[in-house]
Amino acid sequence: MSSETGNTVERKGHCLCGKVTITAKRASNEVGACHCKMCRRWGGGPFMEIDCGTDIIFNGEDSISVFDSSEWAERGFCRNCGTHLFYRIKQSQQHMVPVGLFEDSAEFEFKGQVFIDERPEYYAFANKTKDYTGEEIFKMFASS
């Protein structure tokens, strides 16, 4: 996932139907991709996200459903239109939000990929990024 060390700005976004709006007070400009099997099953391809940290506001919470997807994380979606809203780390409450929910921005920069060892052979990005295996990313989070 993307790093908190990059530039951050306030970003606003919404789901497909507009019933859930998002205000991320400190959203990263760095786009990350997760290739893990769970993310690919969730969205049909890699999860393209920006790190929105913990300072995030969701309006329309009555339209949000949360799925407890693992011991360490949960995933939120709009129960009205099905839009994926976030991947949230339980311990830190850090939110990774799909980059497509925010207005297109020239400020976004594709910087990193995780679970690169689970990326299927039928696609590859041409961008030069920092790439981490699942084992490497779990070690990084364990030492935090």
Give the CATH number for residue 17: 3.90.1590.10
In a domain, 84, yes or no: yes
In a domain, 103, yes or no: yes
Looking at the DSSP bridge assignments, the partners of residue 96 are 51, 87
* Contact present, 37 and 118 (Cβ < 8 Å): yes
Query: Which residues, other chains included, contact 58 with Cβ-Cβ below 8 Å and sequence gap of 6+?
Result: 20, 21, 22, 64, 85
Give me the number of domains the chain comprises. Answer: 1
In a domain, 27, yes or no: yes
Q: Where residue 1 falls among pLDDT bands split at 50, 70, 90?
A: very low
In a domain, 18, yes or no: yes
In a domain, 28, yes or no: yes
Looking at the DSSP bridge assignments, the partners of residue 47 are 34
In a domain, 83, yes or no: yes
How much is the pLDDT for 143? 65
- If we measure between CA atoms, which residue out of 20, 48, 69 comes closest to residue 127? 48
The pLDDT tens digits of the residues spanning 110-125 come to 999 999 999 999 999 9
The pLDDT tens digits of the residues spanning 92-112 come to 999 999 999 998 777 899 999
Q: What is the mean pLDDT of residues 35-55?
A: 96
Distances (CA, A) of 74 to 45, 53, 106: 18, 15, 29
In a domain, 3, yes or no: no
* Strands across the sheet containing 56-59: 8-14, 21-28, 56-59
Give me the domain span that covers residue 70. Answer: 8-142
In a domain, 2, yes or no: no
Residue ranges of alpha helices (H) inside the chain are 37-43, 134-142
